[in-house]
């Protein structure tokens, strides 16, 4: 939430910063602003609404040219999305400018203190106090990094801060506690950003900042300390994707591009993890085999779409390892005093690696002695850093706010973890593992085939643009798929959409069914557990008898559903546990098209932000 950028080097800071903000707009789009150091002064511009409003403002009222600057795109927490609340915030003399991501929990007390000392604060934000505190500290030490350290020691909560001072040319200072901040190191230039996407067009060399660190950027060096000024450990890394991965690449929306990238993303998640003999080699899982053998409970924590991946993983984990598995919303986890010990394995799933609820859940788990394995897409992010081990999903950057390829790759990673546990604990034979691995390897092609047949789904979505409610039903692993389908529709089409376990319908929700109400049903394979299949066919008949318009997602060759499907969406035959990998894809396309038909912003749905860095 909130995207921040800082730059020092030979280029126009305004150009670099605004281009960076464009790449970070997925993190929030309530307002945007920039500050540039020029001729011993600071010049700022900020505007409520999307970045395009700021760009218009800059075209009408250009800022003086400078080569050091900062910028911000906001997801509002404290104070509405107004010009006054937009970042950067400055002190009364206009000498220091600061941008912030996170929440400063003790800002009210600090604000009162500053007001008593004669400062005038003009916004409703928690951030503005930092500009005033930095100005005070700078007047004592004339060193922005030192001023930042002194201020950070007084702040409570989660914050990434980036600041410039008119009296310290060619210097940008950042600080990080609990919110993301990465350094980009170029030739004679340096960058700071919430995400490497902001500077990937300039450099792929990055430095990951740790917790409670302050970084000072100059053209020729980057200095990192802890909040007390002591030397800090940092990790340098090379970003393994380039600027084109963060572009729309000819698609109208990032979401469409990311849906289309799923076959490759799924294949990339498997890459290098299966040896020639078909066994799993998860070298990154640094938790020793003997520890994994002792695990007597698995708890998955995640939010939103990642939580749905966890719900599906439970079926695979319990089936393949016979270890009990709980799945919990990360935001609820630590508040219910969960039972955890050294024999508990906690799996934290997060695309961004920055979701605060998930981070807090994993910290709680580790405090209780549990081992934490992260499944994550973002190299260098906080969740994998703070976990005992990580399995990266290698989906590439996901820019659209609604998660698509991250979900499919999280599923693949979960299946790999479940199989690996089965391998290590001896609950799966090598040939059984090889068989599942073969099935997993063919999923990429199956997803490709689904994508080729989506035109009728798009047409159907357009025809439903005027509807108010869509229900989604599933059983077994199809139930979380139904939840995911409903979530996608809510967040993109702003429609009432709910997912139910099909068997639960008659215990209440069936009362919602009205004449011509669209109900999407995810049908399990008729092969294997055919009892599940038969039961859901009965459920389809029950809702149809009450007037529902049935939209049935069923395997190729499943003829039993044909008489009861008003619309039939075919997916390739897949083993039951893996079916979510193909069944979810039409639901993503459906939501995307419905949102477009309703005139909504697909990549930036209202009120949302991609990386939720506040609790
Ligand atoms: C929905 C969506 C969110 C995220 C959730 C967790 O499309 O994107 O529900 O899945 O905010 O985010 P991560 O995976 O970054 O922890």
The CB of 331 under 6 Å from ligand 1? The reply is: no
Q: Do 3-239 and 455-597 agree at the fold level?
A: no
Predicted local confidence at residue 142, as pLDDT? 97
Task: Render pLDDT for 214-242 as a digit per residue (tens, 0 to 9).
Answer: 999 999 999 999 999 999 988 899 998 88
Q: What pLDDT does 278 receive?
A: 78
Fold annotation for 254-450: Rossmann fold (3.40.50)
Residue nearest to atom 10 of ligand 1 (CA): 305
Which atom of ligand 1 is least distant from the CA of 351? 14
pLDDT at 60 over 70: yes
Mean pLDDT score, 185-209 = 95
The listed CATH number (3.40.50.20, 3.40.50.300, 3.60.20.10, 3.40.50.2000) that belongs to domain 3-239: 3.60.20.10
Has residue 591 got a pLDDT over 90?
Answer: yes
pLDDT of residue 179: 84
- Residue among 258, 301, 305 whose CB has most ligand 1 atoms within 8 A, to mutate: 305
- pTM of the entire structure? 0.87
Taking only the tens place, the pLDDT of each residue in 62-95 is 999 999 999 999 988 889 999 999 999 999 999 9
Closest Cα to atom 16 of ligand 1: 350
User: Which residues touch 417 (CB under 8 Å, ≥6 apart)?
Assistant: 282, 285, 313, 317, 347, 373, 375, 391
Domain borders along the chain are 3-239, 254-450, 455-597
Residue whose CB lies within 8 A of the most ligand 1 atoms, among 351, 357, 485, for a mutation test: 351
- Ligand 1 atom at minimum distance from 358 CA: 16
Beta carbon of 346 within 6 Å of any ligand 1 atom? no
522 CA → ligand 1 middle, Å: 22
Tell whether domain 455-597 is in CATH 3.40.50.620: no
Asked whether the beta carbons of 311 and 327 are under 8 A apart, the reply is yes
Take residue 83 and report the two structure tokens written for it: 């010009």
What is the whole-number distance in angstroms between the Cα of residue 403 and the centre of ligand 1? 6
For the chain, give the longest Cα–Cα distance.
Answer: 80
Q: What are phi and psi of 177, to 5 degrees?
A: -140, 115
The residue ranges of DSSP E strands in 19-146, in sequence order, are: 31-38, 41-48, 68-74, 89-90, 96-104
Q: Which residues is 237 bridged to in the sheet?
A: 206
Q: In terms of DSSP bridges, do strands 172-177 and 213-217 run parallel, antiparallel, or are they unpaired? A: antiparallel
Atom of ligand 1 nearest to the CA of 407: 10
* Whether residue 258 has its Cβ less than 6 Å from ligand 1: no
> Which residue owns the Cα nearest ligand 1 atom 7?
402
Give the Å distance between the CA of 391 and the centre of ligand 1. 17
User: For residue range 566-587, what is the model confidence (pLDDT) as tens digits?
Assistant: 999 999 999 999 999 999 999 9
Half-sphere exposure of 98 (CA within 13 A, CB side): 30
pLDDT, tens digit, for every residue of 328-373? 999 999 999 999 999 999 999 999 999 999 999 999 999 999 999 9
- To test the pocket of ligand 1, the residue of 28, 306, 490, 595 to mutate (highest count of ligand atoms within 8 Å of its CB) is 306
Query: How far, in Å, is the centroid of ligand 1 from the Cα of 351?
Result: 7
User: Tens digits of per-residue pLDDT, 128-161?
Assistant: 999 999 999 999 999 999 999 999 999 999 899 9
Ligand 1 within 6 A of 381 CB? no
The percent of residues in the chain predicted with pLDDT above 90, rounded, is: 87
Give CA angle at 425 (421, 430), nearest 5°.
80
**Given this model, what pLDDT does residue 12 score?**
97
C-beta contacts of 358-362 below 8 A and 24+ residues apart: 358/301, 358/302, 358/303, 358/306, 358/330, 358/383, 359/178, 359/383, 359/386, 360/330, 360/334, 360/615, 361/301, 361/328, 361/330, 361/331, 361/333, 361/334, 362/301, 362/386, 362/387
CA dihedral 497, 503, 505, 508 (to 10 degrees): -130
Atom 3 (ligand 1) nearest CA:
304
Cβ(612) to ligand 1 under 6 A?
yes
**How sure is the predictor about 546, in pLDDT bands with cuts at 50, 70 and 90?**
very high
- What is the CA(181)–ligand 1 centre distance, in A? 19
For residue 612, the ligand 1 atom closest to its alpha carbon is: 11
pLDDT mean across residues, the chain: 95
Residue 321 in this model has a pLDDT that exceeds 90: yes
First to last CA, the chain: 11
pLDDT for 498-531, tens place per residue?
999 999 999 999 999 999 999 999 999 998 667 8
| Mean pLDDT calculated for residue range 540-550 | 96
Q: Which residues contact 515 (CB under 8 A, 6 or more apart)?
A: 547
The alpha carbon of 305 and the centre of ligand 1 are apart by a number of angstroms equal to 5
Ligand 1 within 6 A of 483 CB? Answer: no
Could you tell me if residue 492 is left (phi over 0), alpha (psi between -120 and 50 degrees) or otherwise beta? alpha
Instruction: Assess contact for 549 and 582: CB atoms under 8 A.
Output: no
Active site residues: 2, 610
Query: Does ligand 1 have an atom closer than 6 angstroms to the CB of 352?
Result: yes
pLDDT band, residue 100 (cuts 50/70/90): very high
Is 402 close to ligand 1, i.e. is its CB under 6 Å away?
yes
Q: What angle do CA 597, 602, 608 make, to 5 degrees?
A: 130
- Residue 355 CA: nearest ligand 1 atom is 16
| CB of 491 shorter than 6 A to ligand 1 | yes
What CA dihedral angle connects 359, 364, 367 and 370, to 10 degrees?
-90
pLDDT tens for residues 435-467?
Answer: 999 999 999 999 999 999 999 999 999 999 999
For 471-496, how does the pLDDT look when each residue is reduced to its tens digit (9 = 90+)?
Answer: 999 999 999 999 999 999 999 999 99
Q: How far is the CA of 266 from the centre of ligand 1 (A)?
A: 18
Atom of ligand 1 nearest to the CA of 352: 15
């Amino acid at each position: 939430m909130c995207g921040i950028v800082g730059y020092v080097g030979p280029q126009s800071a305004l150009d670099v910063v605004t281009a960076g903000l464009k790449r970070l707009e997925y993190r929030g789009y309530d307002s945007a602003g920039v500050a540039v150091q020029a001729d011993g002064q600071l010049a700022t511009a900020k505007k409520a609404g999307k970045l395009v409003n700021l760009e218009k403002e800059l075209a009408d009222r250009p800022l003086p040219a400078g080569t050091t600057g900062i910028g911000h795109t906001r997801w509002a927490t404290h104070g509405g999305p107004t010009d006054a609340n937009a970042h950067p915030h400055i002190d009364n003399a206009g000498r220091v400018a600061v941008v912030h991501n996170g929440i400063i929990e003790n800002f009210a007390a600090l604000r009162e203190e500053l007001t008593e000392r004669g400062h005038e604060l003009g916004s409703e934000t928690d951030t503005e106090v930092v500009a005033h505190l930095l100005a005070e500290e700078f007047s004592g030490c004339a060193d922005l990094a030192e001023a930042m350290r002194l201020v950070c020691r007084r702040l409570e909560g989660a914050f990434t801060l980036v600041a410039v001072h008119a009296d310290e040319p060619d210097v940008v200072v950042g600080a990080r506690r609990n919110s993301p901040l990465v350094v980009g190191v170029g030739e004679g230039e340096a960058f700071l950003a919430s995400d490497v996407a902001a500077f990937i067009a300039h450099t792929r060399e990055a430095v990951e900042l740790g917790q409670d660190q302050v970084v000072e950027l100059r053209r020729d060096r980057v200095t990192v300390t802890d909040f007390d000024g002591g030397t800090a450990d940092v990790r340098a890394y090379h970003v393994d994707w380039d600027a084109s991965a963060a572009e729309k690449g000819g698609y109208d929306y990032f979401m469409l591009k990311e849906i289309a990238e799923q076959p490759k993303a799924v294949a990339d998640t498997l890459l290098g993890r299966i040896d020639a003999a078909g066994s799993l080699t998860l070298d990154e899982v640094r938790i020793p085999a003997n520890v994994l053998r002792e695990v007597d409970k698995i708890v998955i924590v995640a939010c939103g779409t990642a939580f749905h991946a966890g719900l599906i993983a439970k079926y695979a984990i319990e089936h393949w390892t016979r270890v009990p598995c709980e799945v919990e919303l990360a935001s609820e986890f630590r508040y219910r005093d969960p039972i955890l010990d050294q024999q508990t394995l906690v799996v934290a799933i997060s695309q961004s690696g920055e979701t605060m609820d998930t981070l807090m859940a994993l910290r709680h788990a580790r405090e209780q002695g549990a081992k934490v394995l992260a499944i994550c897409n973002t190299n260098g992010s906080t969740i994998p850093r703070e976990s005992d081990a990580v399995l990266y999903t290698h989906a590439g950057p996901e820019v659209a706010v609604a998660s698509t390829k991250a979900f499919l790759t999280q599923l693949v990673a979960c299946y790999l973890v479940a199989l690996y546990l089965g391998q290590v604990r001896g609950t799966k034979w090598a040939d059984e593992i090889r068989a599942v691995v073969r099935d997993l390897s063919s999923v990429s092609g199956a997803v490709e085939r689904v994508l080729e047949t989506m035109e009728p789904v798009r047409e159907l979505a357009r025809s439903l643009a005027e509807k108010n409610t869509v229900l989604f039903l599933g059983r077994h692993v199809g139930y979380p798929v139904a939840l995911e389908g409903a979530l996608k529709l809510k967040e993109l089409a702003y429609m009432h959409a709910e997912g139910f376990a099909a068997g639960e319908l008659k215990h209440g929700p069936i009362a919602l069914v009205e004449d011509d109400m669209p109900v999407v049903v995810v049908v399990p394979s008729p092969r294997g557990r055919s009892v599940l299949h038969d039961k859901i066919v009965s459920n389809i008949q029950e809702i149809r008898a009450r007037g529902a318009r049935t939209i049935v997602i069923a395997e190729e060759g499943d003829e039993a559903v044909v008489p009861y499907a008003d619309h039939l969406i075919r997916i390739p035959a897949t083993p039951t546990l893996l079916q979510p990998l193909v069944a979810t894809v039409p639901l993503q396309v459906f939501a995307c098209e419905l949102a477009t038909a309703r005139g909504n912003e697909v990549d930036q749905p209202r009120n949302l932000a991609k990386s939720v860095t506040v609790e």
